[in-house]
Chains A and B, each alone.
Chain A
Amino acid sequence: MNRRKFLTFMGSAGVISALGTAKVAKAGVHTFPYYPDSYGVLHDTTRCIGCRRCEEACNIVNKLPKPKKPFTDTTVTGTKRRTSAYAWTVVNKYNVNGKDFFRKLQCFHCNDPACASACFAKCFQKQPDGSVTYDGSQCVGCRYCMIACPFYVPGFQYDEAFDPLVQKCTFCEPRLKEGKLPGCVEACPMDALTFGRRSDLLNVARARIAENPGKYVNYIYGEHDAGGTAWMVLAPAVSPASQEQDSKASEEKTANHEDEFKQLGLDRHLGTQPMGELTYGALGAVPMIVAFWPVLFGGAYAISKRREARYKAEKEAHIEATKNDLAAAVDAAVRKIEETQGPGAADTARRAMAEALKSREAASAAENGEDK
């Protein structure tokens, strides 16, 4: 049972949850354990020289349109660029505590991708080989994946009128299937991109940090960030103190010393849970609302209905009583008249009173009728 199935199941749960308990138990905890043999890439920013060979290779391998400026022009790395529908990877220059470093931007291929969790037409899929693939044939073009992606990766073909799609790095999934390396990894002249099983890469990264004391920040970006990513980044340790001896300035810089990742444009505050899990609480409330709201409002309706009925009954009883009182009073009056003035006068009086009552009733009925 893979994750998507599992979650589909959870989505339609509530009603049939009992049915699937066995399967859920097999899946273990509710978080998706990433494919243990999946591949990844370790990006060592201390090695990257900003030559843009990876960009060129990506462009060729994926048959993307040629950019205006050639790939040999390395000055463009100085401007802040992001990935787009037509450039699935870009290399940018970042100033880290006064020194220039380069970082390659592309899809991080999260273990539990936010885009896949956000897509309401199931276009994105985490593959067992580690790649997050996109199937444009069922894309509605809502761009919620772009909202969801914490790394600002997917790009949209806004200029396309009839078949605009979301585009992003595919991890060269077709090439992986052929047993080839991703285009960018193959093109890198510095091995700043190391391809391998994700589990091996973590060991590689740790070994590099340990073997080169003082060279790297002791943190593997993507090991746990946003639930873990297939592409991970090592950042250079650049102490700001060596640049400036001024004690106050260096003190200030020590405060953001651990921010080398921030200076490389990487957010270390994404948390360690997959982004999609942030919505599961809200989605989990859906079955509860579906179950409870009808009961709640049905109950409210029943209460108001009952109150209305009782009110009506009380009102009718009241009217009946008044009517009886009135009849008794009229009767008493007529009997009195009969005693004093004889039956003829009593008949006249009874008729007159009955007529008066009737006309009053009619008048009030007319009034009420309009009110209704």
Chain B
Amino acid sequence: MRNGTVLLLLAALVLAGAACLTAPGTGSASAATVASTDSGAPSAIVMFPVSAKPNPKGSAMTPTVFNHLNHEKAIEKCETCHHTGDPVACGTCHTVEGKAEGKFVTLERAMHATDIHKRTDQNTPSSCVSCHAKQTRERQECAGCHAILTPRHDAAWCATCHNAKGSMTHQQLRAGIEGTLPLEENEAIAAKAEQAQKPNRLLTPMHGPYKVSIDALSEKYLPSNFTHRRHVSSLMERIRNDKLARAFHNSPAVLCSTCHHRSPLSAKPPKCGSCHTKEIDRMHPNRPNLKAAYHLQCMGCHKGMNVSRPKDTDCTTCHKARP
């Protein structure tokens, strides 16, 4: 009966997905261009690596398109980001080199720092990365995976935000870095970039098996029947409309990689036992043995999502005792 509901749900999901795919980009693009913010701030702007001494050759970190509207909706107070209480652009105080107004906190730190000391006398600032990390840790729908993994900070990860180079001319980039680009021009570039952005396509639960019988170890207990599809679809359903998740889950099999980790992303990942041996591997003491690997993944995710059932020490819920 339960599976029936899931199937129905899945069907709806697939339909919705299909609908999205047939009309790519329409929904999000129109939102970016048309909708304006309540605060009167620009809906989207390009953030340049503002610098007092720009590189004469003109090279710089790829600018970022910042969707102010989406962030404004997701956050309660402007002070979360505009931590001084004054709604000015970040680059006013935080430049690539850092300057006195920004207490010499560089732009890089202001955007990426995760080790921000808690202020007692004033508003504690957040960086982009620290706030996103906080979301992934604290929101139940994220915390399952993000409790047991930390995203690899590779080029693809950086490119999620630093993606605005293609949509502007060299002169515009240079002006932006110098801080002389007019706001209207900036907004226009941002809107164009937002429009050009394509939604990420993910594998669907249907790509995976319906059930997996985990029987590699069944000695004391019977094999565990893992409802693979139900787990995946339940996870995906929760983050279907989440903009943060949609922005950062940027490759088709990325959601699989929480469990099927450390191997190249693929729809057909290797078995757990390929790496995790039954007895601990002496050459790799940090690699859990197979039993522990299962337990750590399952319980880590359940704990992260505050799934109270089953209890950690209640063995027979997942695998029945061998008669």
* Residue with the highest number of chain A CB atoms closer than 10 Å, among B285, B293, B312: B285
The reply to whether B296 and A191 contact each other, CB–CB distance below 8 Å, is yes
The reply to whether B313 and A74 contact each other, CB–CB distance below 8 Å, is yes
CA distance A195 to B114 in the complex (A): 32
CA distance A197 to B299 in the complex (A): 28
Q: Which residues of B contact A189 (CB under 8 A)?
A: 291-292, 295
The reply to whether B285 and A196 contact each other, CB–CB distance below 8 Å, is yes
The reply to whether A254 and B118 contact each other, CB–CB distance below 8 Å, is yes
Residues 187 to 229 of chain A near chain B (Cβ within 8 Å): 188-191, 194-197, 200-201, 204, 207-208, 211-214
CA distance A163 to B282 in the complex (A): 39
Instruction: Name the residue on B nearest A194 (C-beta).
Output: B285
> What is the minimal beta-carbon distance from A211 to any residue of chain B, in angstroms?
6
The reply to whether A211 and B150 contact each other, CB–CB distance below 8 Å, is yes
Instruction: Name the residue on B nearest A51 (C-beta).
Output: B313
CA distance A208 to B296 in the complex (A): 14
User: Counting CB contacts under 8 A, is B120 at the interface?
Assistant: yes
Q: Which residues of A contact B288 (CB under 8 A)?
A: 191
Instruction: Name the residue on A nearest B148 (C-beta).
Output: A212
CA distance A78 to B217 in the complex (A): 31
Interface size class of B (residues with CB under 8 A): 20 to 34
> What is the minimal beta-carbon distance from B286 to any residue of chain A, in angstroms?
4
Q: Which residues of B contact A350 (CB under 8 A)?
A: none
Q: Known: A74-B313, A195-B280, A200-B285. Is A190-B292 also a contact (CB below 8 A)? A: yes
The reply to whether B285 and A213 contact each other, CB–CB distance below 8 Å, is no
CA distance A74 to B311 in the complex (A): 11
User: Counting CB contacts under 8 A, is A50 at the interface?
Assistant: yes
User: Counting CB contacts under 8 A, is A85 at the interface?
Assistant: no
> What is the minimal beta-carbon distance from A222 to any residue of chain B, in angstroms?
16
User: Counting CB contacts under 8 A, is B62 at the interface?
Assistant: no
Q: Which residues of A contact B138 (CB under 8 A)?
A: 242
Residues 235 to 290 of chain A near chain B (Cβ within 8 Å): 241-242, 251, 254
Residues 294 to 315 of chain B near chain A (Cβ within 8 Å): 295-296, 299, 312-313
Q: Which residues of A contact B137 (CB under 8 A)?
A: 214
User: Counting CB contacts under 8 A, is B257 at the interface?
Assistant: no
User: Counting CB contacts under 8 A, is A181 at the interface?
Assistant: yes
Q: Which residues of A contact B289 (CB under 8 A)?
A: 191
Q: Which residues of A contact B296 (CB under 8 A)?
A: 47, 190-191
Total number of A-B contacts with CB less than 8 angstroms? 50
CA distance A266 to B274 in the complex (A): 38
Q: Which residues of A contact B313 (CB under 8 A)?
A: 49-51, 74
CA distance A284 to B226 in the complex (A): 66
Q: Which residues of B contact A208 (CB under 8 A)?
A: 286
CA distance A242 to B138 in the complex (A): 9
Q: Which residues of A contact B291 (CB under 8 A)?
A: 189
Instruction: Name the residue on A nearest B114 (C-beta).
Output: A213
Residues 24 to 58 of chain A near chain B (Cβ within 8 Å): 47, 49-51
The reply to whether B312 and A195 contact each other, CB–CB distance below 8 Å, is no
The reply to whether B299 and A49 contact each other, CB–CB distance below 8 Å, is yes
The reply to whether A188 and B292 contact each other, CB–CB distance below 8 Å, is yes
The reply to whether A49 and B312 contact each other, CB–CB distance below 8 Å, is yes
The reply to whether B280 and A181 contact each other, CB–CB distance below 8 Å, is yes
CA distance A214 to B120 in the complex (A): 21
Q: Which residues of A contact B280 (CB under 8 A)?
A: 181, 191, 194-195
CA distance A195 to B288 in the complex (A): 11
CA distance A139 to B288 in the complex (A): 40
The reply to whether B120 and A251 contact each other, CB–CB distance below 8 Å, is yes
Q: Which residues of B contact A212 (CB under 8 A)?
A: 150
> What is the minimal beta-carbon distance from A187 to any residue of chain B, in angstroms?
10
The reply to whether B285 and A190 contact each other, CB–CB distance below 8 Å, is no
> What is the minimal beta-carbon distance from B113 to any residue of chain A, in angstroms?
12
> What is the minimal beta-carbon distance from B120 to any residue of chain A, in angstroms?
7
Instruction: Name the residue on B nearest A192 (C-beta).
Output: B292
> What is the minimal beta-carbon distance from B262 to any residue of chain A, in angstroms?
11
The reply to whether A195 and B285 contact each other, CB–CB distance below 8 Å, is yes
The reply to whether B285 and A241 contact each other, CB–CB distance below 8 Å, is no
CA distance A17 to B292 in the complex (A): 54
Q: Known: A49-B313, A51-B313, A204-B285. Is A241-B118 also a contact (CB below 8 A)? A: yes
CA distance A205 to B199 in the complex (A): 39
CA distance A204 to B288 in the complex (A): 12
> What is the minimal beta-carbon distance from B190 to any residue of chain A, in angstroms?
31
* Residue with the highest number of chain A CB atoms closer than 10 Å, among B280, B282, B289: B280
Q: Which residues of A contact B292 (CB under 8 A)?
A: 47, 188-191
Q: Which residues of A contact B150 (CB under 8 A)?
A: 211-213
CA distance A196 to B285 in the complex (A): 6
The reply to whether B282 and A196 contact each other, CB–CB distance below 8 Å, is yes
CA distance A341 to B293 in the complex (A): 135
Q: Which residues of A contact B312 (CB under 8 A)?
A: 49-51
CA distance A214 to B282 in the complex (A): 28
CA distance A289 to B61 in the complex (A): 73
CA distance A18 to B147 in the complex (A): 61
CA distance A213 to B295 in the complex (A): 21
The reply to whether B120 and A201 contact each other, CB–CB distance below 8 Å, is no
The reply to whether B286 and A207 contact each other, CB–CB distance below 8 Å, is yes
* Residue with the highest number of chain B CB atoms closer than 10 Å, among A51, A190, A242: A190
Q: Which residues of B contact A188 (CB under 8 A)?
A: 292
Give B132-170 as 1s and 0s: 1 = Cβ < 8 Å from A's Cβ atoms: 010001100000000000100000000000000000000
Q: Which residues of B contact A242 (CB under 8 A)?
A: 138
CA distance A191 to B294 in the complex (A): 10
Q: Which residues of B contact A181 (CB under 8 A)?
A: 280
Q: Which residues of B contact A254 (CB under 8 A)?
A: 118
Q: Which residues of B contact A204 (CB under 8 A)?
A: 285-286
Instruction: Name the residue on A nearest B293 (C-beta).
Output: A191
Instruction: Name the residue on B nearest A47 (C-beta).
Output: B296
Instruction: Name the residue on B nearest A42 (C-beta).
Output: B285
Residues 217 to 250 of chain B near chain A (Cβ within 8 Å): none
Q: List 13 A-B contacts (CB under 8 A).
A: A49-B299, A50-B312, A51-B312, A181-B280, A190-B296, A191-B288, A194-B286, A195-B280, A196-B282, A211-B150, A213-B150, A214-B133, A214-B137
Complex A-B, nearest 6 residue pairs according to Cβ-Cβ distance, in ascending order: A191-B292, A196-B285, A49-B312, A191-B288, A204-B286, A51-B313
| 6 more A-B residue pairs beyond the given contacts A189-B291, A191-B296, A214-B133, with a C-beta to C-beta distance below 8 A | A47-B292, A191-B280, A200-B285, A204-B285, A213-B150, A214-B137
